[in-house]
Structure 1
Amino acid sequence: MPRNNATSLAADVPSTSGSSRPKRKPLTKEQRDFLDSALRVNQAGELAATLIYAAQTPPLVNAHPHLRPLMSHMYAQEEGHLNTFNHLIAKHRVRPTALYPLWSVLATGLGWSTAVMGRETAMACTEAVETEIGTHYNDQIRKLLEIFDQWEGDGYEVGDEFRDLVDTLRRIRDEELEHLDHAVEHDAKKAEPHWLLTGVIRAGCRGAIWVSEKV
């Protein structure tokens, strides 16, 4: 995580000095940078998700009242994800993305515009966004597991805080993919033109992720 707090997330190694307290293996610069960017982009992504659902809900529910429980459920989960990353960002003193205001405007606009275009378009938006988010979380989990394998191969143990982080990412990923399934069940594939709509949104998500990791 951040350089001035790197010892909070590190591998445990059994002490060789007779003490039962484990030592910490310092993170490499590459690992610190990866964890900083991961938390930064995850916080930004979950902020965007809450704003998309918040903007979609009024026009969607007005036209399709039966969608109120689903939209409420998905928003509540996204709000929980955002709270999780807000906590982790503050705990490990990671700098949030400088583009918060821009992402806020774009996410709200995306949510509202796709909702007024109709239920299928709104659900196609959810399908596209959650596909990219699920892929992104999978990449983060894979990278962390590679780090774990390297540490264990060198004879170190992985600290509980790192394992808890992976468990958190897995849980949030699964909930995001649940949203994708809901979108498909509610006719996301019927949006026209589906391939263009989802392609543009997915490309925008990838661009936002890339920028937020760095800025």
Structure 2
Amino acid sequence: MYTDHSRANDPAVCTTPNITDAQRQQLDSALRVDQAGEIAANYIYMGQMAVLGRDRTLKPLIQEMWDQEKKHLEVMDKLQVQHRIRPTLLSDVAKVAGFGLGAVTALMGKEAAMACTEAVETVIGEHYDESASHLIHRFNADCSFSQLKEMESLPSEHPSIPLLRNVVREFRDDELEHLDIAVEHDAQQAPAHALLSSVVGAGCKIAIELCKRI
């Protein structure tokens, strides 16, 4: 719906629900991280393509995953505007760090590049899964009993809520598919795989916490 221009005036893609301040803060934090993550992912694949783009086997594989990330970012940018989310101030840092991470691991070899993808997509997939479980599900995790009773009496959810839930689930599944592709293409055969995965994964988790706040 976010990429179909004929649906641009649909309430699900151009309006936002009336939620509590606490829920607003939670939504703001989660979508800010998601948008920053998609920015970084795009630049990771850009860095990989810059180094491995001449490999006839890897080029179409990287391009396919990169194309999905481009779609993710397009949708996240629209969600950021729709829900009036304050973008992270670290967007430029995400671009530089993402490109550097993609290029450096690609220079270490195709296995290291795939190990980078495996580690990054593991963390991003976990974040999307957490969003689906704790943020998207009816926005009622922090409601009082009276608020819950009031919500139960409403005829239906705001139309953006089920759409947002589906977007998060779809993107989570895409990221986990990228993880599987990386493993299938020898990610775990990278030199010092465990160390590389730990360092990249830890960096991603630190970035998530920073983007939640900045």
Superposition TM-score tier, normalisation by shorter sequence: 0.7 to 0.9
Q: Rg: which structure is higher?
A: 1
TM superposition score normalised by structure 2: 0.85
* SS of the residue 1:96 aligns to: coil
Gaps of 5+ in 2: 1-14
Q: Alpha-carbon deviation of 1:148? A: 5.1
* SS of the residue 1:158 aligns to: coil
One-letter identity of the residue aligned with 2:112: T
Q: Which residue of 1 aligns with 2:72?
A: 81
Per-residue CA deviation, residues 160-182 of structure 1 (Å, 9 max, x unaligned), is 21000000111111111110010
Instruction: List, as ranges, runs of 4+ consecutive aligned residues in structure 1 with deviation greater than 6 Å.
Output: none
Q: Distance in 1 between matches of 2:63 and 2:97?
A: 21
Aligned-residue identity in percent: 44
* SS of the residue 2:92 aligns to: helix
One-letter identity of the residue aligned with 1:103: A
Q: Alpha-carbon deviation of 1:100? A: 1.1
Q: Answer yes or no: is 1:112 the counterpart of 2:110.
A: no
- Equivalent pairs counted in the alignment come to 193
Q: Distance in 2 between matches of 1:194 and 1:130?
A: 15
Q: Distance in 2 between matches of 1:146 and 1:135?
A: 20
Q: Distance in 2 between matches of 1:99 and 1:40?
A: 10
Q: Distance in 1 between matches of 2:160 and 2:152?
A: 19
Q: Which residue of 2 aligns with 1:199?
A: 198
Q: Distance in 2 between matches of 1:68 and 1:214?
A: 36
Q: Which residue of 2 aligns with 1:155?
A: 153
One-letter identity of the residue aligned with 1:42: D
Q: Which residue of 1 aligns with 2:41?
A: 49
Gaps of 5+ in 1: 1-7, 11-25
Q: Answer yes or no: is 1:67 the counterpart of 2:74.
A: no
Contact 1:39 1:94 survives alignment (8 Å):
yes
Q: Distance in 1 between matches of 2:68 and 2:104?
A: 22
Instruction: Between 119-128 and 150-159, report the one with greater CA deviation.
Output: 150-159
Q: Alpha-carbon deviation of 1:192? A: 1.6
Q: Alpha-carbon deviation of 1:125? A: 0.2
Q: Which residue of 2 aligns with 1:37?
A: 29
Q: Alpha-carbon deviation of 1:61? A: 2.9
Q: Distance in 2 between matches of 1:160 and 1:36?
A: 18
One-letter identity of the residue aligned with 1:73: E
TM superposition score normalised by structure 1: 0.84
Q: Distance in 2 between matches of 1:154 and 1:182?
A: 42
